[in-house]
Amino acid sequence: MAIKGKQIHMKKGATIDSLEITGISSEGKGVGRVNGQVVFVKETVPGDIVKAKVVGKKKKFLEAYAEEIITKSDERIVPFCEHFGLCGGCKWQHMHYDSQLKYKQKHVEENLQKLSGLELPQTNAILGSSETTFYRNKLEFTFSNFRWLTKEEIASGEEYVRTGLGFHIPKQFNKIINVEKCYLQADPSNEIRLKVKSFADAHDIPFFDVKKQEGFLRNLVIRTSTTGDLMVILQVYYRDQELIDLMLNHLKKEFPQITSLMYVVNEKGNDSFSDQEVLLFAGKDHIMEQMGDLKFKIGPKSFYQTNSVQAHELYKVAADFAGLKGDELVYDLYTGTGTIANFVARSAKKVIGIEYVEEAIADAKVNSELNGIANTYFYAGDMKDLLGNEFINKHGKPDVIITDPPRAGMHPRVTQLLAEIKSDRIVYVSCNPATQARDLEVLGQVYDVVKIQPVDMFPQTQHIESVVLLELKSEFKDKN
């Protein structure tokens, strides 16, 4: 398709009359080219032809939005959520799920190929999620006394309620959209959020003002579980026990299915409550998750994979790649609450989990106990400091390493150590193929990449999980 824009150097505010979207970026935006320049256009799909307005100019690319979609791509569908475009939650819901999977697969293949510089096997077909909506087990909603208004609301000239309970607009910490219906978490999540908001409005309970740092209601966390357990945590700014009791008694009465009702009084500047005391109002202080024949106890601060069903599929891939026979020493790096460690423990001689969040390590131990698993050992510490020759001399050289680092990938010191350890196999689980590729480049000197499996944990988003199996090169096996 010919590009009609004539300028060689497009400026902010310029219009590109006709731009064909030919690809999609790792951030999830459509990608086109004008006069050799890359243009990222949000909410577009490969195959779209759009009239685009340039809103940002960087050294190597332009940022734009579609003023008009001239020709719609066959991959485009009508977004199901009224908050699409404003809310950062489900950025790809304007694309068929099959297309989402196709681009995720491509993203893993291209990143690993281009960035690792290694010879790679063919990537396995991506494992799609059985649920493409209502798949999350945890959501966090923020209260605001000054919610974001849509253009339509402003234009209508009607009176509107200014309080809101919902999500942040991406990259704008003080802008909250009031969510009417969220497609990410199953009922009664929406019902609870709506009732909490209407009750607070009706009783004039002050919503938080993040700029002025005043108001009472800060945020609401809802955690659902495959066992039917349901946790609700209300976070407030100051201790007013009467108001806390009023809100929570209302919730307790309206939602008898809540098994764990909790609250936090957080006087800090931000909403994070990992360093705050979470108080029990009614029910149990945890919920239970079930994965296969394993049970996991989840406290209000515990991490658990947010798509429980697909997490099971991911762990099955990791366990399959680990190929355990029963006599191996396994290291599970970045173990979190020890879910992978416990998942593979019955197939190994011994599993050692390492993680820097101490509470998560405490949960990991409880989870082993709960499942009668006695061959797991968990240690808290920063990976780059704790995992070294001294640790390996003390605990033994692992036969198999499973590593599941955060988006930033592994610290170079850790990657280097894994190359030096020369275990038989490494299973590398990653939520960021770019950093995974970077680490594979180093590991590739000693290991061959033999399997690659993309797994979709987050439908309607650009996020993708990729599992890679590395095997020690034959020339090192002999010397080992």
Ligand X SMILES: C[S@@+](CC[C@H](N)C(=O)[O-])C[C@H]1O[C@@H](n2cnc3c(N)ncnc32)[C@H](O)[C@@H]1O
Among candidate residues 152, 140, 126, the one with its CA nearest the CA of residue 176: 140
Token pair for 22 = 């030919």
Cis peptide before 300 (omega within 30 of 0): no
Token pair for 268 = 């800090």
Query: In the stretch 427-446, what mask flags binding to ligand X with x, by CB under 6 A?
Result: ----x---------------
Point out which span in 97-105, 204-212, 277-285, 403-411 binds ligand X (CB under 6 A).
Answer: 403-411
Distance CA 454, CA 463 (A): 11
Q: Single out the residue of 382, 445, 473, 480 in contact with ligand X (rule: CB under 6 A).
A: 382
Asked whether position 255 contacts ligand X by CB under 6 A, the answer is: no
Give whichever of 202 and 408 is closer to ligand X, judged by the CB atom: 408
Q: Single out the residue of 20, 43, 109, 355 in contact with ligand X (rule: CB under 6 A).
A: 355
The dihedral sign for the CA sequence 103, 104, 109, 115: positive
Among candidate residues 411, 408, 467, 471, the one with its CA nearest the CA of residue 108: 467
- For the segment 24-43, give every residue that binds ligand X (CB under 6 A): none
Give whichever of 145 and 403 is closer to ligand X, judged by the CB atom: 403
Distance CA 443, CA 426 (A): 9
Give whichever of 134 and 303 is closer to ligand X, judged by the CB atom: 303
Token pair for 279 = 């108080």
Tell me how long the chain is: 480
Among candidate residues 41, 49, 40, the one with its CA nearest the CA of residue 70: 49
Per-residue DSSP letter, 94: T
Distance CA 435, CA 26 (A): 12
Give whichever of 5 and 405 is closer to ligand X, judged by the CB atom: 405
Q: Single out the residue of 235, 305, 461, 462 in contact with ligand X (rule: CB under 6 A).
A: 305
Give whichever of 303 and 377 is closer to ligand X, judged by the CB atom: 303
Relative to beta strand 425-430, strand 329-333 is unpaired
Minimum distance of ligand X from residue 354's CB (angstroms): 6
Give whichever of 229 and 332 is closer to ligand X, judged by the CB atom: 332
Distance CA 446, CA 322 (A): 17
Distance CA 100, CA 48 (A): 15
Minimum distance of ligand X from residue 451's CB (angstroms): 19
Q: Single out the residue of 360, 400, 440, 449 in contact with ligand X (rule: CB under 6 A).
A: 360
Q: Single out the residue of 31, 55, 169, 357 in contact with ligand X (rule: CB under 6 A).
A: 357
Minimum distance of ligand X from residue 412's CB (angstroms): 12
Minimum distance of ligand X from residue 378's CB (angstroms): 12
Q: Single out the residue of 61, 65, 255, 356 in contact with ligand X (rule: CB under 6 A).
A: 356
Give whichever of 179 and 311 is closer to ligand X, judged by the CB atom: 311
Q: Single out the residue of 406, 473, 477, 480 in contact with ligand X (rule: CB under 6 A).
A: 406
Give whichever of 13 and 292 is closer to ligand X, judged by the CB atom: 292
Minimum distance of ligand X from residue 273's CB (angstroms): 16
Point out which span in 112-120, 154-162, 178-186, 356-364 binds ligand X (CB under 6 A).
Answer: 356-364
Beta bridge partner(s), residue 427 = 402, 469
- Is 90 in the active site? no
Query: In the stretch 319-348, what mask flags binding to ligand X with x, by CB under 6 A?
Result: ---------------xxx--xx--------
Distance CA 247, CA 253 (A): 10
Minimum distance of ligand X from residue 465's CB (angstroms): 9
Distance CA 107, CA 464 (A): 8
Give whichever of 116 and 335 is closer to ligand X, judged by the CB atom: 335
Candidate list 87, 90, 182, 431, residue with the active-site label:
431
Q: Single out the residue of 43, 328, 399, 404 in contact with ligand X (rule: CB under 6 A).
A: 404
Cβ atoms within 10 Å, residue 12: 12
Laid out side by side, the sheet with 138-144 consists of: 172-178, 164-169, 138-144, 217-224, 230-236, 260-265, 278-283
Asked whether position 303 contacts ligand X by CB under 6 A, the answer is: yes
By beta carbon distance, the residue nearest ligand X is 336
Distance CA 230, CA 223 (A): 6
Asked whether position 379 contacts ligand X by CB under 6 A, the answer is: no
Angle between helix 433-443 and 412-421 (nearest 10)? 40
Minimum distance of ligand X from residue 214's CB (angstroms): 32
- For the segment 177-196, give every residue that binds ligand X (CB under 6 A): none
Distance CA 231, CA 45 (A): 37
Distance CA 356, CA 248 (A): 34
Q: What is the separation of C-alpha 80 from the centre of its chain, rounded to a whole number of angstroms?
A: 21
Structural contact between residues 391 and 385, judged by C-beta atoms closer than 8 angstroms: no
Relative to beta strand 400-403, strand 425-430 is parallel
Q: Which residues are catalytic, by number? A: 431
Please give the residue ranges that form the binding site for ligand X (CB under 6 A): 303, 305, 334-336, 339-340, 355-357, 360, 382-383, 404-406, 431
